[in-house]
Each structure stands twice: as structure tokens, then as C-alpha cells.
Structure 1
Amino acid sequence: MTAETRRGYAKGRAKRREILDQAMSLFGEAGYRGASLRVIAARCGISHTGLLHHFPTKEALLLAVLERRDDVDDEWLSVGGTTGVDRLRRFAELAALNAKRRGIVELFTVVSAEATAADHPAHTYFVRRYENSVAGARLAYEQAGRDGALREGIAPADAGRQLIALMDGLQVQWLLSDLGTDMAGVLRAHIQAQLTVDL
């Protein structure tokens, strides 16, 4: 591979990242249905056809944006191979991280609500995502229980579902309170009340 070819690939990857960033921002502002590929292209300084070279459909772009967000979050939750209480602590830390990423939180909140419609292109994605999120939280509670760190009467399956619901509900409150809700603090207090050890 020549140096010129490598530069071309690097330039293409950089443009793809820029498109994802602009799409994430516009999907957060206008929702998936209200966002236009032409507007995203214009924000990136490329033609509509140029955008379609990277993402052939609006659905492909949306799924790429959502997958990018998940990759970042999964990496954050999995640093150091955390399990049990450490993994539960990571959920609270993720809420603190989200408090620095308003655009991503807006995107997720808007599109997840839109995707409750069965004909939405991200419907299947969100069904699978929630199944995986709840399962991951349940596993963390199960591990905490095996380690003797879970209070008596806490059912891991219920606690996992409640944790994910609380995280998403706090994001809505945070956005509506003009970022005045302490998502991480509320989440940390909720988890701490379920444990026999310090979070």
C-alpha cells in the first residue's frame, strides 16, 4: 500500500467520523424522522452523494451512530474486566460520563422513544439493546450476590431491570431540568441502598 493510499484511507475514516458526529448532533436535535441527510451532508461540507458514499441509507447512518455510542459505553463499562460491585459502580460512573455528553443523551432519548414504533428502522436494535442492558445489569447483581455484597431480598432480575429504567428516566429528567438533575448521585445512592458494602 502506498503512502498516498494510506492518506486516502485516513481521510475517508476522518470524514466518516465527522459524518457520525454531525448525524449524532442532528438526530439529537430533530429526532431521526426530522433529520435530513442533506443537512448532515451540508454540515460536513460534502454533497448528498458524498454522504451516501459513506452511508448508503439514512437507516445505515442511524445504526452506525447508535453502534458507535454503544461501543464507547461498553468499553467504559468493561474496563479492567469489572464484575459484581465494581460493575455496578461503573454504571454510576457512566451516568457521570453522560452528564458531559448532552448530545449523545439527547440522541438516545429522542430516538429510543421514536423506536418504540415497530416500523422504525432502529426498533429491532433497541429491543436487542434493552435485552442486553438488562441482562448485563442482572449479571452484575448476581455476581454481587455471590460475593455476599447484595442486601437480603434484592432479586437480581428485578434490580437489573430497575437499574436500566432508572438510568434512562434520569436522563430524561436531566434534560428537562436543564442539566440540573444529579444523575450519577441518584444512581449511586440507589445502588448503595441495595448493597452491604460501600460502593
Structure 2
Amino acid sequence: MAEGRKERRGSYAKGVAKREEILERALDVIAREGYRGASIKELAEEVGLSQAGLLHYFDSKEELFTAILRKRDEIDSANFGLADDDGPVEGVDLREGYLGVIRHNAEVPGLVQLFARLSVDASDPDHAAHDFFVARGKTLRTAFAAAIAAQQAAGELSDRVDPDTLARIFQAVADGLQVQWMLEPDVDMAGTIDSLFTALDTRAAAGPDAGTDTEAGRHGAAS
């Protein structure tokens, strides 16, 4: 009995590891080849599996792509300091972290295409990605609203609009800009969102010197 349990645990651990390998390789392939170029066949070949073998780890192609986006969010949150294993990080610089993610998105157009296409398809409640996008949006807005509320309380951001509404506005702007950027690749997504932060920044509004100091500090940190 003990041997059987060990074998099952070992098999489960190998399955989890293989699933993680598939997702990490898929992120690289889609970023490199684009959404259209990332077929199930190509993704399977990247990890040494048949197409049927690849889909053994996922219920469907849609479920695979949903898992890829979930993995992308996990990596981006860790890389840009927006969250850790326990959730949103308190005291994080929301502006720099968020702009870091947006700048990175401009370097991986295939993943942006995947996100945009899947988010539209997921408007169907029966789609495999529907629950993921609904939950993702709520989690994103909750984290944003908390960070915005803290900055409003500190007098750093305008409090003329409540945090929950501002969080939804930021989400809508980011999602909409991705579509514009796919149509017009010269659109500066990060620069546009940075301008929205500037419009809400009470320190920038305090006067020319305050705005200059804020801008110089931000660009200095990014360089």
C-alpha cells in the first residue's frame, strides 16, 4: 500500500513538473512566433510530446491557452514586484510596477494577441477561459483599488474619483490600449498610461517644480 502511494505521488509530481515545463515553453514559443504561429503541433514538439500527449495535460486547446495566460500573470507579478505567493505586495510602487508590465507586454506581441483574442472569446459564459478572466479582473481591480486608496490617503493621488472606479478605469485603459497597439504598433502603451498617472498625481499638479522632480525621478529610476 505504501509503495502504491509513493508511486502515485511520484507520478503526480512528474505530471505537475511536465505541465509547468509545457507552460514555460509555450510562453517562449508564443512570444517568439506569435499567437497564429503557435500551433498545438509546434507546442507539443517543443516539449517532446505528440499533440494528443500534450492535450493529456489539459482538457482542451482553450484550457491550455488559459493556463498559459495564468502562468504569464504569475511570472509578471513576481518579476515586477506586484505580488508574491501571499497576494498583492503592500507598499509596492504601483506606477512603476504596472508600467513595467506594460513595457514588457510591448516586447511579447504574441502574448498580447493571445490575451486579446481569448478575452473576447471568454465573454461567452461557457468558454473555458470565462471564469479565469472574470476572477483575474476582480483580483486586479482589488489590488489596484487598495494601492490607489493608500496613495489617496497619503495625498499622492487625487481622491476626486473613488479607488474602485479608478481601478476599473486603469484596467479598461490597459486592455483598450493593447487593441490599439495591435492595430497601430507605434502606440506608446506605457507612455499613455503614465500620462494617466500624471493626471491623477497631486504632487505633479502642485507646481512646475514638483512635476519636474517627479518626472526626473521616475525616468532616472527607469534608466
Which TM-score band applies after superposition, normalised by the shorter structure?
Answer: 0.7 to 0.9
**1:1-199 map, 5 Å:** 12=18, 16-17=22-23, 20-21=26-27, 24=30, 29-30=35-36, 37-38=40-41, 40-41=43-44, 46-75=49-78, 76=80, 77-78=82-83, 81=89, 83=91, 86-178=93-185, 180-197=186-203, 198=214
Greater RCO (CA < 8 Å, at least 6 residues apart)? 1
Q: Deviations over 1:1-52 (max 9, x none)?
A: xxxx9xxx6x947852465237746996359xxx864464356663223213
Change in CA separation of 1:81 and 1:195 when aligned onto 2, cut-off 3 Å: same
Task: Quote the Cα distance in structure 2 between the aligned partners of 1:61 and 1:23.
Answer: 14
The code of the aligned residue for 2:51 comes to H
Q: Distance in 2 between matches of 1:187 and 1:47?
A: 42
**C-alpha contact 1:142 1:156 (8 A) present in aligned 2:** yes
Task: Give the structure-1-normalised TM-score.
Answer: 0.78
3-state SS of paired residue (1:29):
coil
Long gaps (5+) in structure 2: 1-9, 204-213, 219-223
Alpha-carbon contact 1:92-1:188 (below 8 Å) kept: yes
Structure 2 SS opposite 1:151: coil
Residue 208 of structure 2 corresponds to which residue in structure 1?
A: none
Identity of aligned residues (%): 32
- Tell me how many residue pairs correspond in the alignment: 189
Change (3 A) 1:88 1:162: same
Greater Rg over alpha carbons, structure: 2
Could you tell me the TM-score, scaled by structure 2's length?
0.70
Compute the RMSD of aligned alpha carbons.
3.3
Amino acid at match of 1:73: D
Q: Matched residues in 2 for 1:142 and 1:185: separation?
A: 23
Q: Does the C-alpha gap of structure 1 residues 45 and 22 become closer, same or farther in structure 2, counting only changes over 3 Å?
A: farther
Structure-1 residue corresponding to 2:3? none
Worse-superposed segment, 57-66 or 155-164:
57-66
Answer whether contact 2:63 2:129 (CA < 8 A) is retained.
Answer: no
SS of aligned partner of 1:161: helix
